Amino acid sequence: MSKRDRTPKTYTRLTHPLVRDARDEPFRRASWEEALDRAARGLARNRGAFGMFSCARATNEMNYVAQKFARVVMGTNNVDSCNRTCHAPSVAGLSAAFGSGGGTSSYEEIEHTDVIVMWGSNARFAHPIFFQHVLKGIRNGARMYAVDPRRTSTAEWAESWLGLNVGTDIPMAHAIGREIIHAGLANEAFIERATTGFEEYKALVEPWTLSLAEKVTGVPAAAIRELAHAYARAERAQLCWTLGITEHHNGTDNVRALINLSLLTGHVGRYGSGLQPLRGQNNVQGGGDMGAIPNRLPGFQDILDPDIRLKFESAWDTVIQPHYGLNLTEMFEAMEDGTLKAVYCVGENPAQSEADSEQAVRRLKALDFLVVQDIFLTKTAELADVVLPATAGWAETDGTTTNSERRVQRVRKAVTPPGEAREDIDIICDLAARLGHDWKYADAETVWNELRSVSPDHYGMTYARLEEHQGIQWPCPSTDGLEPTYLHGRLWEPDPAERGPLAPFGIVQHDPPVDLTDEEYPIRLTTGRRLDSYNTGVQSGGYASPLRRGEYIELSPEDAERYGVVVGEQVQVTSRRGSVTAPVWVDPALRSGLAFMTMHFPDEVDTNALTIEANCPIAGTAEFKASAIRIEKLPIATIVG
C-alpha cells in the first residue's frame, strides 16, 4: 500500500534564549542574562504558587537538581514529570504492595522463565529490545500469553491471545485469581508467609466465575482458564504490563489486580519470577527515583517520614514541606482554579501529551508565568514567557539514566550542543543563584555523588563502578558488592524479621471506563505506539523512517465496510470532547467496535483532542486507553494516498 505524501512537521534546535513581554507578542531573541533575570523574576513573584515539570527524558542528575530546585529554592513539593501520563500507577501499585516502585525482575530473567504474560503491552513495538529478551525466553521454551484488545505483533507470538474488552482487566484478573484458588493451585505456603488480606481477596474474587468473566471481558472462559492454569502451574513466571494497564481512570487498581496474581502464586521475589512494568521513556524510572515526584525524596524515600526529612533538611540546609506536593494532574487542576500561577517546565510537552489537549492548552495559557527549557520550540514552549535552549540529555551531556530493570547507566557527551544552548543543570543552578541559592556543581559526577550520599539505594554506584559493570541495578547499598537481579527476595525468608513488611493483596473493584460507548458514540477508541515513532513525535519526526505513514484512525475491516470507508479516506472522528479528521487505515488485528490511534503526530491529527481526562485518583494518570467515539464520512470524500 502506498504511503501518502506527508510534509511532517520537523523541529529545529533552539540555539538562543527567547523572551517576550506579553503572551500575544512574538518571541524575540535575548541574551542569557536577560532571559534568566526574567525567569527569576517571574518565578520569584509566584513563590507559593509554583510547580515544576521535571523531565523523564533528562538525566538523573538533572532530575535531582530540578527537584532540589523545587524543594529548596521554591519551597514546594509540587514537582512531577510525565511519568504521570504513563506509569505512575505502576509505581503507586508496586509501592503499595512491596514498598518500592520498581519492576521486580531483570530482562535477563525473562530468558530463563517458563511462562510469560504480556498484559496490555505491545512490547514488540514499544519496547523492541526488551522483546528480544522475551523472544530468547520463547526460544528457550517459555510459553507466552498475551492479554490485549488488539491482536498486536506481540500477541502474534503468544501461545494464546486473549482479546478482552477495553477496561475489563480487573474482571479478567479476578477470574484468573478465582480459578487458581478453586483449582487448588494457589501457593499457600507463600500466601501464608508473605502476604496479608488473602481471605478478603478470596471473597472479592469469588463472584468472578469464568462465565461471568466471559460475559464482561468477551474472552471465552476456556481461554481464561488456560491462562490461569499456565501461570499458576509454572515453576517460574513473569507478568509484564505497559500502558494498557496503567492509562485508565483506575490504573492503580489495575496494577494491584495483577500484583494479586503474583502474590497468589508466589511469582515474585525469585529469580525468573516477577513483575515487570515496562517504562515508556528513557528515564521515567530515574526521574521518580531522583525525587522528581511530589511524594518522594531522592532514593524513593517518603516525604512523610520525619527521619528522612531530617536527613535531607540537614544535607540541603533547608526546611522540607511535611506533606505531599501536587502531581502533574493536580497541578493542571490548580492552574484552573488559579492557585498555581507559575510553572518551570523542563523538557516536557504537556500541551500535546496531556489527555484533552485543548483543556491543557487553555490552562497553560492562564498561567501568570511559564518558563520552558527545551531543545525545541514545542507547542508548550510556544505558550511560554521565557524559553531557554537546553542540551539533549542523551548525547550532549554527561550523567546517568535508569532503565526499566532499575539499571543505572552512564550517558556521555558525544556532540557539542548548537549555538548558545546550555546544560540543564547549569541553567537551573544559574536560576537558583538568582533566587539566592549558590550551588556549585563542577560536573554531573559531583551531583551524582551528592545523590549517593542521601540515597542508600544508590550509594554503591560510583561512576567508576557504573562504567565497570555497564550499569548497576538498584538497590546497590554497598560499593563492594552487587545485589540479586530481582527485588523482594526477603518475602521468602523464613525469619519474619528478615522478611520485613508483608505484601497486602489489593482489594480492588471493577470499574468500567468512564467514557461509555452508546448509540451516539458507538466505537471504543484505544491508543498506543508504533514501532518507529515516539510520543508526540518531536524527536522521532527527525529521521526518515520508511515505516512511517502518519496518523490514521485504524478500524476493523468490518467497521470500514459498515461505514463505507476505504483506506486513506478522510473521516470525521468525534468524541464527547472534540473532533478531528483523520484518514482511515484498516487493521485486521482490530475487531468490530474497536478503533486505534497513536499520539505520534499531533500536528497532523490531535488524537488527544478526543481522549478523556478521567484520572486515576491515586496516581493521576488519565484514561488514554478508552474513549468513546463515532466515525462519520465526510460529505465530499477526500482520499489521501
Partner 1 sequence: MDLHFGDSKPTDEERAAVDALLGPPESSWEGADRSDADLRWARGGREARDRRDLLLPGLHAINDRVGWISDGALDYLCRRLTVPPAEAYGVATFYAMFSVKPRPATVLHVCTDLACAAAGAPELCAGIEERLGLGSGVSVQRSPCLGLCERAPAALAIRAGDPVRTAVSAPATVHDAVLAASAPDSAPQEPPAGLAVPQAGQDGLMLLHRVGVVDPASLDDYRAHGGYTALRRAFELGPAGVIREVTDSGLVGRGGAAFPTGRKWQATASQPDRPHYLVCNADESEPGTFKDRVLMEGDPYALVEAMTIAGYATGAHRGYLYLRGEYPRALHRLEHAIAQARARGLLGDDVLGQGYAFDIEIRRGAGAYICGEETALFNSIEGYRGEPRSKPPFPVEKGLFGKPTVENNVETLVNVLPILTIGAPAYAAIGTERSTGPKLFCVSGTVERPGVYELPFGATLGDLLALAGVRDGLRAVLLGGAAGGFVRADELDIPLTFEGTREAGTTLGSGVVMAFDDSVPLPRLLLRIAEFFRDESCGQCVPCRVGTVRQEEALHRIAERTGAAAADDIALLREVGRAMRDASICGLGQTAWNAVESAIDRLGAYE
Partner 2 sequence: MTVTPLGIPRRMLEFTIDGEQARVPEGSTILDACRAAGKDIPTLCEGDTLRPKNACRVCVVEVEGARTLVPACSRKAEPGMEVRTGTERARHSRKVVLELLASSVDLSTTPRVAGWLKEYEAKPDRFGPDAARLNEEPKIDNDLYVRDYDKCILCYKCVDACGDQWQNTFAISVAGRGFDARIAVEHDAPLTDSACVYCGNCIEVCPTGALSFKSEFDMRAAGTWDESRQTETTTVCAYCGVGCNLTLHVQDNEIVKVTSPHDNPVTHGNLCIKGRFGYQHVQNRG
Contact footprint for partner 2 (CB under 8 A): 10-13, 15, 57, 107-108, 126-130, 132, 135, 139, 271, 278-285, 375-376, 392-396, 401-405, 407, 409-416, 418-419, 470-471, 480-485, 531-532, 534, 538-547
Q: Judged by CB, which is closer to partner 2: 402, or 574?
A: 402
Helix crossing, 169-182 with 198-205: angle to 10°?
110
Question: Which of residues 134 and 386 has its CB atom nearest to partner 1 in the complex?
Answer: 134
How many angstroms separate the CA atoms of 270 and 488, rounded? 8
Q: How far, in Å, CA of 355 to CA of 82, rounded? A: 12
DSSP readout, 188-203?
A: HHHHHHHEE-HHHHHH
Measure the CA–CA gap between 614 and 26, rounded to whole angstroms.
34
Output the smallest distance, CB 561 to partner 1, in A.
11
Q: Which does 617 bind (CB under 5 to 8 A by kind): partner 1, partner 2, none?
A: none
Q: Which stretch binds partner 1 (CB under 8 A): 238-246, 343-351, 427-435, 553-561?
A: 553-561
Q: Which of residues 571-610 bind partner 1 (CB under 8 A)?
A: 588, 591-592
By beta-carbon proximity to partner 2, the closer residue of 281 and 608 is 281
Contact 575, 612 (CB under 8 A): yes
Q: Between residues 169 and 330, which has the closer beta carbon with respect to partner 1?
A: 169
Q: How far is the CB of 418 from partner 1 (least distance, A)?
A: 39
Binds 545: which of partner 1, partner 2, none (CB < 5-8 Å by kind): partner 2
Burial zone of 552 (CB within 10 Å; 0-12 exposed, 13-18 middle, 19+ buried)? buried
User: In whole angstroms, what is the distance from residue 80 CA to residue 328 CA?
Assistant: 6
Vertex 612 angle, CA 325 and 276, to 5°: 65
- Give all strands of the β-sheet with 399-402 in edge-to-edge order: 399-402, 407-411, 472-473
Q: Which amino acid is at 39?
A: A
Instruction: Kindly tell me which residue out of 558, 562, 572, 576 binds partner 1, with binding defined by CB under 8 A.
Output: 558
The answer to whether the beta carbons of residues 76 and 46 sit under 8 Å apart is no
Closer residue to partner 1 in complex, CB, 419/557: 557
How far, in Å, CA of 537 to CA of 272, rounded? 35
- Distance from C-alpha of 408 to C-alpha of 275, rounded to nearest angstrom: 19
Question: 3-state secondary structure string, 136-155?
Answer: HHHHCCCEEEEECCCCCCCH
User: Which of partner 1, partner 2, none is residue 393 near (CB under 5 to 8 Å by kind)?
Assistant: partner 2
By a kind-dependent CB cut-off of 5 to 8 A, residue 591 interacts, out of partner 2, partner 1, none, with partner 1
**Nearest distance, CB of residue 543 and partner 2, angstroms:** 4
CB distance 292 to 300 below 8 Å = no
Q: Which helix (H) or strand (E) holds 251?
A: helix 251-265
CA distance 168 to 454: 42
Binding footprint of partner 1, residue count (CB under 8 A): 28
> In the bound complex, what is the minimum distance in angstroms from residue 115's beta carbon to partner 1?
11
Q: What does the per-residue mask of binding to partner 1 show for 1-40, with x meaning CB under 8 A? A: x---------------------------------------
Residue 73 vs 162, nearer CB to partner 1: 162
Report the 10 Å Cβ neighbour count for 442: 7
112 vs 591 by CB, closer to partner 1: 591
Q: What are phi and psi of 389, to 5 degrees?
A: -80, 125
Cβ(375)–Cβ(360) below 8 Å = no
Q: Which does 501 bind (CB under 5 to 8 A by kind): partner 1, partner 2, none?
A: none
Chosen from partner 1, partner 2, none, partner binding at 159 (C-beta under 5 to 8 Å by type): partner 1
Q: Cβ 105 to partner 1, closest distance in Å?
A: 21
Other beta carbons within 10 angstroms of residue 49's beta carbon come to: 20
Cβ distance to partner 1 smaller for residue 196 or 592 = 592
Closer of 36 and 472 to partner 2 (Cβ): 472
Three-state DSSP at 236 gives coil
Distances (CA, A) of 623 to 96, 337, 358, 613: 21, 22, 16, 6
Which does residue 218 touch among partner 2, partner 1, none (CB within 5 to 8 A, set by kind)?
A: partner 1
557 binds partner 1 (CB under 8 A): yes
Q: What's the min distance (Å) between Cβ of 436 and partner 2? A: 34
CB of 523 vs partner 1, minimal distance in Å:
15
E strand or H helix at 43: helix 32-44
β-strand pairing of 296-297 with 301-302: antiparallel
Query: Of 1 and 415, which has the nearer Cβ to partner 1?
Result: 1
Q: Which does 483 bind (CB under 5 to 8 A by kind): partner 1, partner 2, none?
A: partner 2
Dist CA 224 CA 634 (whole Å): 41
Paired strand residues for 407? 473
CA pair distance 506, 493, nearest whole angstrom: 22
Strands 579-586 and 553-555: parallel
Minimum CB distance to partner 2 smaller for 396 or for 457: 396
Q: Is 302 in the site for partner 1 (CB under 8 A)?
A: no
Looking only at residues 109 through 168 of this chain, which bind partner 1 when binding is defined by CB under 8 A? 124, 138, 143-144, 151, 153-163
SS (H, E, C) 306-326: HHHHHHHHHHHCCCCCCCCCC
Shortest reach from residue 590's CB to partner 1, in Å:
8
Q: How many Cβ atoms sit within 10 Å of the Cβ of residue 2? A: 8
Q: Which lies closer to partner 1 via its Cβ, residue 88 or residue 117? A: 117
Q: List the interface residues with partner 1, window 215-244 (CB under 8 A).
A: 218-220, 222-223
Q: Looking at beta carbons only, is 535 or 556 nearer to partner 1?
A: 556
The option from partner 1, partner 2, none interacting with 246 (CB < 5 to 8 A, set by class) reads: none
Q: Shortest Cβ distance from residue 282 to partner 2 (Å)?
A: 5
Min dist CB 517 to partner 1, Å, is 17
Distance, in Å, from the CA atom of 597 to the CA atom of 559, rounded to the nearest integer, reads 15
State which residue, 55 or 180, has the beta carbon closest to partner 2: 55
Chosen from partner 2, partner 1, none, partner binding at 72 (C-beta under 5 to 8 Å by type): none
Give me the residues that bind partner 1 (CB under 8 A), please: 1, 124, 138, 143-144, 151, 153-163, 218-220, 222-223, 556-558, 588, 591-592
